[in-house]
Structure 1
């Protein structure tokens, strides 16, 4: 089991992420130490990168945006995100991005 992706008994996922805002395009960029690196096209201004991150993860996990919440790291590149109600195959699809 990867350190960056944890599955809870209630079916939620907790992701440890390293964010690179201001990239050319949004997407997974492999592992960065103990975290999954995600490049975001959004700038790190006025919460735009956080909003783009939640929208990207909601789309990838096929859950509503309201199911994705930032646990910690609002102003940091190191973030922890919770995804509620993810389908069974989502964790495997996320691990494939590493």
Structure 2
């Protein structure tokens, strides 16, 4: 199972959130390969961790923060993000992050 799937106007990406982490950043694929691990220092309160996760993913794939939106999993560790942009370029970048 892939951690992302192309859409006509972007990609849909599954992430495994790690809030309140000491070392923020993109951690590669989850052990089962079904999600991208994203660690942030923010606590999961008032949506702060969700906003930080969207910003971290936007920076990692080279899009504006406004191009990344949370579509599922606002209160859980497994989340689905929608990234707007060129699906081919985003897929190539995500394949590198998940390698």
TM-score (norm 2): 0.84
Q: Distance in 1 between matches of 2:86 and 2:55?
A: 14
**CA RMSD, aligned part only?**
1.7
Q: 1:84 to 1:39 in 2, by over 3 A?
A: same
Q: Distance in 1 between matches of 2:40 and 2:86?
A: 22
Q: State yes or no: 1:41 paired with 2:46.
A: no
Q: State yes or no: 1:5 paired with 2:4.
A: yes
Is the 8 Å Cα contact of residues 13 and 82 (structure 2) preserved in structure 1?
Answer: yes
4+ long deviations beyond 4 Å: none
Indicate the residue corresponding to 2:55 in structure 1: 55
Structure 1 portions without partners, runs of 5+: none
Q: Distance in 1 between matches of 2:23 and 2:86?
A: 24
Indicate the residue corresponding to 1:97 in structure 2: 97
Q: State yes or no: 1:80 paired with 2:80.
A: yes
Q: What secondary structure, in the 3-state scheme, does the structure 2 residue paired with 1:45 have?
A: coil
Is the 8 Å Cα contact of residues 61 and 87 (structure 1) preserved in structure 2?
Answer: no
Structure 2 portions without partners, runs of 5+: none
Aligned length: 96
Q: Distance in 2 between matches of 1:26 and 1:84?
A: 23
